[in-house]
């Protein structure tokens, strides 16, 4: 993963390639920087403005789209996080509000916006962003909501049959002692197809039910979206550290299988937790800490900016989950 200094140095080289005529090569290099950790550090909106000023507005717009796809902070004033006084603080807040109103939202941007709101003392707006109504839980096995039902056992078998195609990570960013299988939606198995159909149905319903009262950080949802999917198969003590998903609008977690002991009354093994950032004070409203047992067939939906993690399994076994990011398409 690139550190901030290296990412910004490489980004400057990629921009120079664009300005010298190698637009495709420059954008590919820039996208690689964002993918390798630069999305947290590179001021993409500033770079896009530089390209537009240099007479390359179409390249600038492509850079903006690239930034959103990789979860970068697209604020001019907020990306640097150094608002020294109230005037600069208000400018940064207004910049984010303008982006959110235009449907340009990302998890990193929401996190930084929340930090600015805390500095401004606007706890009511913090609570609107951390609205517990944004978190949903569905049982995809019973069909009581009229949607497609899913066989979690079938999903688990399809994934276990492809376990050797995945990559085991002792530690990969927030994931510990787990095997990751990418592009689950491409697996041609009936249970996987049903899962993708069921998720799209619940996403469309979620979007329809948000209503005008929802904070602009959630908005009405993207007009067009894609599903980015992967499976995390946690071995024994494998689990996820606190993290958010940079690229999504909504993040979903579907449980396919878990050791039976994890479902016993009073057990906490393998559980999913959704919490809040450490910088948010206790007196601010909104969700605090929510817990979901890893029941096979359960689908948990949350804003992609929601901080979440899992508890490790305390004895041998596999926790099989599918993660799904609902990502806006330009």
**Residue 235 or 120, more confident:** 120
Q: How confident is the model at residue 23 (pLDDT cuts 50, 70, 90)?
A: very high
Task: Report, as an integer, the average pLDDT of 10-38.
Answer: 95
Tell me: pLDDT of 81 over 70: no
Tokens 């009262």, located at residue: 213
- Using CA atoms, how far residue 2 sits from 5, 33, 92, 244, in Å, is 8, 8, 26, 19
- Tens of pLDDT along 168-202? 888 766 788 899 999 999 999 999 999 999 999 99
- Per-residue HEC secondary structure of the chain comes to CCCHHHHHHHHHHHHHHHHCCCHHHHHHHHHHHHHCCHHHCCCHHHHHHHHHHCCCHHHHHHHHHHHHHCCCCCCCCCCCCCCCCHHHHHHHHHHHHHHHHCCCCCHHHHHHHHHHHHHHCCHHHHHHHCCHHHCEEEECCCCCCCCCCCCHHHHHHHHHCCHHHCEEEEEECCEEEEEEEECHHHCCCHHHHHHHHHHHHHHHHHHHHHCCCCCCCCCCCCCCEEEEEEEEEEEEEEEECCECCCCCCEEEEEEEECCHHHHCCCCCCCCEEEECCCCCCCCCCCCCCEEECCCCCEEEEEECCCEEEECCCCCCCEEEEEEEEEEECC
- Tens of pLDDT along 186-195? 999 999 999 9
Q: How confident is the model at residue 155 (pLDDT cuts 50, 70, 90)?
A: very high
Q: How confident is the model at residue 83 (pLDDT cuts 50, 70, 90)?
A: low
Contacts of residue 90, Cβ cutoff 8 Å, sequence gap at least 6: 120
Tell me: pLDDT of 86 over 90: no
Q: What is the pLDDT of residue 329?
A: 83
**Residue 144 or 302, more confident:** 302
Q: What is the pLDDT of residue 254?
A: 98
Task: Report, as an integer, the average pLDDT of 293-298.
Answer: 96
Contacts of residue 264, Cβ cutoff 8 Å, sequence gap at least 6: none
Q: What is the pLDDT of residue 40?
A: 87
Q: How far is CA 109 from the centre of its chain?
A: 12
**Residue 210 or 16, more confident:** 16
Task: Report, as an integer, the average pLDDT of 204-220.
Answer: 86
Tokens 């109230």, located at residue: 86
Task: Report, as an integer, the average pLDDT of 97-126.
Answer: 93
What is the Cα–Cα distance from 254 to 139, expressed in whole angstroms?
10
- Using CA atoms, how far residue 154 sits from 73, 158, 189, 284, in Å, is 39, 6, 8, 43
Q: What is the pLDDT of residue 85?
A: 83
Q: Count other C-beta atoms under 10 Å from residue 25's C-beta.
A: 13
Task: Report, as an integer, the average pLDDT of 275-282.
Answer: 96
% pLDDT > 70, the chain: 97
Q: What is the pLDDT of residue 219?
A: 79
Q: What is the pLDDT of residue 34?
A: 94
| Mean pLDDT computed over every residue of the chain | 92
Q: What is the pLDDT of residue 173?
A: 67
- Using CA atoms, how far residue 105 sits from 213, 287, 329, in Å, is 17, 20, 12
% pLDDT > 90, the chain: 71
Instruction: Choose the most confident range, by mean pLDDT, from 35-49, 62-76, 277-291.
Output: 277-291
């Amino acid at each position: 993963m690139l550190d901030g200094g290296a990412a910004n140095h490489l980004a400057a080289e990629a921009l120079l390639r664009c300005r010298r005529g190698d637009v495709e090569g420059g954008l590919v290099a820039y996208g690689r920087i964002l993918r390798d950790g630069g999305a947290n550090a590179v001021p993409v909106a500033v770079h896009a403005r530089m390209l537009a000023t240099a007479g390359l507005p179409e390249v600038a717009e492509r850079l903006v789209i690239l930034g959103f796809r990789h979860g970068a902070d697209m604020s001019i004033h907020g990306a640097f996080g150094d608002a020294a006084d109230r005037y600069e603080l208000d400018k940064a807040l207004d910049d984010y509000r303008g982006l959110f109103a235009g449907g340009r939202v990302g998890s990193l941007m929401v996190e930084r916006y929340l930090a600015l709101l805390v500095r401004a003392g606007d706890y009511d707006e913090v609570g609107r962003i951390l609205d517990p109504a944004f978190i949903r839980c569905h049982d995809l096995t019973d069909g009581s909501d009229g949607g497609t039902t899913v066989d979690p056992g079938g999903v688990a078998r399809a994934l276990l049959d492809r376990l050797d195609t995945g990559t085991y990570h002792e530690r990969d960013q927030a994931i510990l002692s787990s095997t990751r299988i990418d592009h689950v939606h491409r697996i041609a198995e009936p249970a996987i197809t049903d899962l993708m159909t069921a998720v799209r149905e619940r996403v469309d319903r979620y979007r329809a039910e948000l209503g005008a009262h929802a904070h602009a950080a959630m908005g009405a949802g993207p007009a067009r979206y894609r599903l980015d999917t992967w499976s995390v198969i946690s071995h024994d003590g494998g689990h996820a550290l606190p993290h958010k998903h940079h690229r999504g609008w909504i993040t979903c977690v579907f449980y396919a299988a878990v050791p039976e002991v994890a479902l016993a009354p009073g057990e906490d093994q393998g559980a999913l937790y959704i919490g809040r950032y450490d910088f948010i004070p206790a007196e601010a409203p909104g969700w605090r800490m929510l817990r979901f047992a890893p029941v096979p067939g359960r689908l948990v939906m949350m804003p992609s900016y929601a901080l979440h993690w899992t508890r490790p399994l305390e004895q041998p076994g596999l926790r099989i989950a599918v993660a799904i990011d609902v990502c806006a398409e330009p």
